[in-house]
Amino acid sequence: MPAIEIRNLKKNFGKFQALKGISLKIEEGEIFGLLGPNGAGKTTLTNILATLLLPSGGSAKVMGHDVAKDFLEIRKIIGYTAGYASFIEHLTGWENMKFYAMAYGARPSMELVKIMGMEGKIHKQVSEYSSGMMQRLGFIVASIHDPKVLLLDEPTIGMDPNIAVSVRSYINSLRSKRTILLTTHNMYEAEDVCDRVGIISQGRIVALGTPAALKKKYRVKNLEGAFLKMTGMRLEV
């Protein structure tokens, strides 16, 4: 059974078609990268998988659970963090983490704090955090309940390069232990951590394969070249 199975998925916002019939399978333990320009449908797709948005047509399943019907089951097994995380400012990072840990029936994790390089900052109030620190806290909260599937929507955007390296190394360490769907603008990141990537443009998957296979197919040196060939546009970094 694939960890994520999407069949002819559509999402309309009024007359605007954000997703125009996407089909995709992501196997258990796979790290899958979703690449695309702004407005291509990446966030819409991850939000549907996270059960925050109902599809207009087609179906999507996470570990066999339907996103429209079994949303509580799915929420138990997924972790999600988006590009610009935000938390209640009156609380410290630790207290925010503790709140989510309690809600998930888990325990706050100092190990995750260390991986994210937050040891010295975790007991400070979130109002003092930079956007990069918020982002790291978002990553910690997304992983606090040890989810089977991680949905990471631009997890390293806004992070210092050295922290981004440790986050990528953490993602790499989860290979074959967790299923990860990662959306990113960072081609280096996609090549570094993803087993397969899909390029999404205007609500459709226009290319799908391993980074090596895509480079070979489009006769380009890197993923950005493949991306340019498929979408005719440059990524905004």
Under the criterion CB under 8 A, does residue 99 sit at the interface with another protein?
A: yes
Q: For another protein, which residue of 38, 39, 64, 102 counts as binding (CB under 8 A)?
A: 102
Strands of the sheet with 204-209, listed across from one edge: 78-81, 149-153, 179-184, 31-35, 196-201, 204-209
Q: Which of 87, 129, 139, 227 binds another protein (CB under 8 A)?
A: 87
Give the bridge partners for 201, in sequence order.
Answer: 204
Nearest approach, Cβ of residue 62 and another protein (Å): 12
Report the distance separating Cα 148 and Cα 77, nearest Å: 5
Q: According to DSSP H, which parts of the chain are helical?
A: 42-49, 71-77, 93-104, 110-115, 131-143, 161-173, 187-193, 211-217, 223-231
Q: Which stretch binds another protein (CB under 8 A): 21-29, 69-77, 162-170, 219-227?
A: 69-77
47 binds another protein (CB under 8 A): yes
CB of residue 105 vs another protein: minimum separation in angstroms?
5
Interaction of residue 75 with another protein, rule CB under 8 A: yes
Q: What's the one-letter identity of residue 144? A: I
| 197 phi, psi to nearest 5 deg | -135, 155
Residues 180, 174 contacting (CB under 8 angstroms) = yes
105 binds another protein (CB under 8 A): yes
> Does residue number 57 form part of the binding site for another protein (CB under 8 A)?
no
Residue 51 C-beta: closest distance to another protein, Å: 8
Shortest separation between residue 136's beta carbon and another protein, angstroms:
14
Task: Say whether residue 128 binds another protein (CB under 8 A).
Answer: no
Is 34 among the residues that bind another protein (CB under 8 A)?
no
CB 40 within 8 A of CB 46: no
Residue 44: strand, helix, or coil: helix
139 near another protein, rule: CB under 8 A: no
195 binds another protein (CB under 8 A): no
Q: Rule CB under 8 A: is residue 227 a binding residue for another protein? A: no
Phi-psi region of 208 (alpha: psi -120 to 50; beta: other; left: phi over 0): beta
Contact positions vs another protein (CB under 8 A):
13, 43-44, 47, 50-54, 72-73, 75-76, 78, 80, 82, 84-91, 95, 98-100, 102-105, 138, 141
